[in-house]
Amino acid sequence: MRYREIVILTGAGVSAESGVRTFRDNNGLWEDHRVEDVATSEAFARDPNLVQRFYNLRRNQLHHIAPNPAHLALARLEREFDGRVTLVTQNVDDLHERAGSRDVIHMHGELRRVRCTRCDTVHHWLDDCTQRSRCPNCGQAPSLRPNIVWFGEMPFEMEAIHDRLTRCDLFVSIGTSGSVYPAAGFVSNVRHAGEAHTIEVNLEPSAGASRFAEHRNGKAGALVPVLVDELLGVGRSG
């Protein structure tokens, strides 16, 4: 089967072999806080220093991690596939970009950007962000928050994502537990299942596994390069 439009959704599992902790590690706990309780605007209003610390630790981690074969294979697919590849990631790290992917939709935002809550500008930011950090545009403080989509907030670029889902003829979900919406529902938004093929690549069957036509269980670092070779027709005789 030759595909024309592929949508790829990635989650924390695609970065796991790069040493980035998934949300399921520690049963979704960080410093004994449930992630859902830290990654919210209410938590930020209640204890901004705690939330800033949560993201500063993870932003600092960006300097010590590198893309793994799964990230590199997805960048190769974007470069060499003779149709359209849309990469939507739930991840807030920059490993897809550092692997060479160019067209990445960060639906949950990015660790390397902060947003001013006063003038709404977004800035590239790799250092610690605190309540004393001044907005590079309006100069106010406190004003900067992580440009991350918290629980209860609308994910970014939903319209563009939905448009690509309804047009794609292949949807591949990689390294996600299917526990967070609306990403977990994307597989049900692709064109009528009869026309689009759907593949789940994950260490283990996810909560939404039954909604996929095909399942490949194992490590992304091993399975994604194989899948990309197949999609590029590499190693296909004749």
**Residue from 67, 69, 155, 208 in contact with ligand BV8 (CB under 6 A):** 155
Task: Name the segment binding ligand BV8 (CB under 6 A); options: 15-23, 59-67, 76-84, 115-123.
Answer: 15-23
Q: Which of these is catalytic: 33, 64, 108, 123?
A: 108
Q: Shortest gap between Cβ of 227 and ligand BV8 (angstroms)?
A: 12
Query: Strand pairing of 122-124 and 144-148?
Result: unpaired
Told to judge if 63 belongs to the known catalytic residues of this protein, a careful annotator would answer no
Name the residue among 151, 167, 173, 163 with its Cα closest to residue 224.
Answer: 173
Spatial separation of the C-alpha atoms in residues 149 and 56, rounded to whole Å: 16
Cβ contact 184:208 at 8 Å: yes
Interaction of residue 90 with ligand BV8, rule CB under 6 A: yes
**Residue from 20, 220, 227, 231 in contact with ligand BV8 (CB under 6 A):** 220
Query: Strand pairing of 5-10 and 170-174?
Result: parallel
Q: Shortest gap between Cβ of 72 and ligand BV8 (angstroms)?
A: 14
125 CB-near residues (< 8 Å, 6+ apart): 59, 112, 113, 114, 144
**Residue from 6, 20, 39, 135 in contact with ligand BV8 (CB under 6 A):** 39
Residue 200 falls in which region: left (phi positive, over 0), alpha (psi -120 to 50) or beta: beta
- Between 125 and 150, name the residue whose CB sits nearer to ligand BV8: 150
Which stretches of the chain bind ligand BV8, using CB under 6 A?
A: 11-13, 16-17, 22-24, 36, 39, 90, 92, 108, 148-155, 175-177, 179-181, 202-204, 206, 219-220
